Amino acid sequence: MTRSELLLRVKDLHATVGGKEILRGIDLEVGPGEVHAIMGPNGSGKSTFAQVLAGRETFEVTKGEVLYQGQDLLALSPEERAVAGIFMAFQYPVEIPGVGNLYFLRTALNALRKRRGEEELDAMDFLALAKQKMKLVAMDESFTGRSVNEGFSGGEKKRNEIFQMAVLDPRLAILDETDSGLDIDALRTVASGVNSLRSKDRAMIVITHYQRLLEYIVPDRVHVMGNGRIVRSGGRELALELEQKGYAQVEGRREAAR
Amino acid sequence: MTELTQSLRESFTQRTNGPLRLLREAAFARFAKLGLPTTQDEDWKYTSLAALAQMRFELAAEATVHDVDRWTLSDAAVRLTFVNGRYRPELSSRAPGGAFIGSLSAALVERPELVERELARHADSHGDALTALNTAFIEDGAFVHLPAGAALQAPIHLLYVSTAPGKPTLSQPRNLIVAGANSQATVVETYAGLDNEVYFTNAVTEVVLGDNARVDHYKLQAESARAFHVALTQIHQGRDSRFSSHSVALGAALARNEVRALFASEGSECTLNGLYMATGKQHLDNRTLIDHKSPRCTSRELYKGVLDGHSRGVFSGRVLVRQDAQKTDASQTNKNLLLSDDAIVDTKPQLEIFADDVKCAHGAAVGQLDENALFYLRSRGIGQEAARSLLTYAFASEMVNLVPLGPLRARVRDLVTSKLPAFERLKEAA
Ligand SMILES: Nc1ncnc2c1ncn2[C@@H]1O[C@H](COP(=O)(O)OP(=O)(O)O)[C@@H](O)[C@H]1O
Ligand SMILES: [Mg+2]
């Protein structure tokens, strides 16, 4: 794949928080339609990487570059990134009392449409769209009347993230541990929702702690993160190897090979 | 003597005749003695009237305005409109029925016995200079008298519009609401001004509830950005009565709204809700007193403040549970949202309990917008300013949603969203 065809190109990305370096030189290339899995132990920097891509200002990028569709992603605000087609499903979705779930999502969708020069959807058209997308993740319609994530169970919050993704229709979706806290039935539902959103135009970065999710969402590439870097990359068989040998050994092998 | 007191003295000597002469003279003497409060007074520690004291105001200048459509409520049963404190029949509507709902000046002529029984018997003209000042100039305002058992479903709308095209004006509406035993009513007071005019509203409302009466009182303060507004709502609750107050304070350069409720007899309920939203250099002071003088009464208080820019908010809420007030159930909460580093809020909840068998709770909080929530919204494509407005609205909406559905809720919501920078996009938020 040539550079210009790449959707995302991350080069030697370093990021700190409060002076502490968390990302210590990440390299990653994602082409359109590809699904990349990022695995790694707790604290290795997966969520930090996801949030830096989404534009969280808590983290300071100290070195490196991120090109998205050939453009400097780091120069954009979070909302501009959303307009450009980036979506992150949060590991910990935020509860926002007083803001209706559907109102929030319609405001978001219309903000995107407006900035893209498209016509905004009225309440009726939006509701029709939302109902259709809710089916993808078997989300109960009663959630429409509630505040954003307020009082949702862990699983309901994760479904809500994928529902939002389905409505906002991003080009690059970053799913941060969307599987954690889900029982096996919920995992299947969410995974099938994600799979139905796979397309040749939409790339995904699926962050997970367990290879279990990857049985349902089969990735094109698997990367292992350790201590703020991608320490190994491979095909889907790498996930299985990780499952069998554990992170310590897989990471260790790389350190040894240096 | 300050400019203000000097000009008031001149005006007072010109107009001392009329039915309430003695009352007014005594009140003026008190005002002259007390003078305008300064920040040396404990009760005015956080709110300075120094700017006001420097000014001369023309008293209740006769005036009218072209139309009041933007402030009216479509479902009001009755609307009394006052311009610069004086009743304007041509801008008002009156409902038939057994209740007296009209101007105080008319009531003093037509039904003086009803007025004099309660007027100035509840609000404190002795210790409170601005109440004394209002009493000294009692002339007009609203008089609502509900006979026993009268129940009005639709709201009574009292609209106070100020205009000061030339010199700054002073309006001192004096309102008296008497709800007889078992009666029921909703009263909405709206205070509004024209554009950027400078004027001073000093309003006093006395509400007297008979046994088992119910009054829901709303006060929408949307004065002009350069106005001064000081108001007292004094409530006297008879046995088993229910009163609720909703204060929405959004306008004026400097405003102070005080609500004082007295449980004169047992078994009553009082709810005091308030929302204040200040921007720019606004100063919004909210003061409440709930006097649990009698046993078995319940009070609930929730005030929320949103302070942006260089504004300053004050909440000073006192709940007094007297010795005989056993089985009191009182709770008081004040929550504030600071939207800028330069905004200030002083919150002072005070619970004073002299009875032993009571249930009381109070709390105060000052916070900022939740960074996680802000990022969540922005990551979905909602711009920073809209995201801030949306979260601010979410904070304030709890107060909006306490207003029953209908034109009044819609009005409150519109007033609130108009204070938010990205309000256009949020019109349908609720
Ligand atoms: N806001 C923050 N402030 C300080 N440290 C942080 C912050 N966010 C993450 N970290 C630290 O960065 C490291 C990586 O965290 P994270 O990216 O959440 O890892 P992962 O998602 O792989 O579990 C951890 O040591 C964590 O404590
Ligand atoms: Mg994580």
CB A118 within 8 A of CB B388: no
Question: Looking at residues A115-144, what average pLDDT do you find?
Answer: 92
pLDDT of residue A102: 94
Question: Looking at beta carbons, which pairs linking B392-395 to residues 24 or more positions away fall under 8 Å?
Answer: B392/B306, B392/B337, B392/B339, B392/B420, B393/A98, B393/A99, B393/B417, B393/B420, B393/B426, B393/B429, B394/A96, B394/A97, B394/A98, B394/A99, B394/A147, B395/A98, B395/B304, B395/B306, B395/B335, B395/B337
Closest partner CB to B373 (pick from A57, A96, A168)? A96
pLDDT digits (tens, 9 = 90+) for A14-33: 999 999 999 999 999 999 99
Q: Are B170 and B153 in contact (CB under 8 A)?
A: no
What does the pLDDT read at residue B352?
Answer: 97
Say what the pLDDT of residue B13 is.
72
Domain ranges of chain B: 3-265, 371-430
- Does residue B428 have a pLDDT over 60? no
Using an 8 Å Cβ cutoff, are B210 and B237 in contact?
no
State percent of chain A over pLDDT 90. 81
- Structure-token match 């700190």, residue found: A16
Residue A19: nearest ligand to its CA? Answer: 1
DSSP state of B155: P
Average pLDDT over residues B371-390: 96
* Backbone φ, ψ for residue B153 (5° rounding): -80, -50
Alpha-carbon distance of B62 to A38, in angstroms, equals: 76
Q: Are strands B312-321 and B344-353 parallel, antiparallel or unpaired?
A: parallel
> Scanning the structure block, which residue is given the tokens 């300013």?
B385
> Is residue A123 classed as helix, strand or coil in its secondary structure?
helix
pLDDT digits (tens, 9 = 90+) for A176-188: 999 988 889 999 9
pLDDT, tens only, B55-113: 888 886 778 888 899 999 999 989 999 999 999 988 887 665 678 999 999 999 999 99
Closest CA to A208 of A193, A192, A222: A222
Contact B337, B395 (CB under 8 A): yes
Q: Could you tell me what percent of chain B has a pLDDT over 90?
A: 83
Q: pLDDT category, A4, cuts 50, 70, 90?
A: low
Q: Nearest-CA residue of chain A relative to B375?
A: A56
Q: Residue B249: which residues within 8 A CB-CB, separation 6 or more? A: B221, B255, B257, B274, B275, B276, B277, B284, B286
In which band, very low, low, confident or very high, does the pLDDT at A91 lie, cut at 50, 70 and 90? very high
Q: Do B380 and A164 touch (CB under 8 A)?
A: yes
Average pLDDT over residues B344-350: 96
Mean pLDDT of chain B: 93
Please tell me the distance between residue A43's alpha carbon and the centre of ligand 1 in angstroms. 6
Separation between Cα atoms, residue A118 and residue A102, nearest integer Å: 20
- Chain A: nearest CA to B245, how far in angstroms? 22
Contact call for A111 and B391, based on CB within 8 A? no
At B357 the pLDDT is 96
- Quick: pLDDT tens for B155-200: 999 999 999 888 899 999 999 999 999 999 999 999 999 878 899 9
What's the ipTM?
0.95
**Does residue B16 surpass a pLDDT of 80?**
no
Tell whether A56 is within 8 A of chain B (Cβ): yes
Integer Cα distance of A119 and B286 in angstroms? 44
DSSP string computed for B2-58: -HHHHHHHHHHHH---STTHHHHHHHHHHHHHH-S--TTSGGGTT---HHHHT---E
* Chain A residues 68-107 with a CB less than 8 Å from chain B: 77-79, 81-83, 87-88, 90, 93-94, 96-100, 103-105, 107
Mean pLDDT of A43-62: 97
| pLDDT of B11 | 81
Q: What average pLDDT does this structure show over B363-380?
A: 97
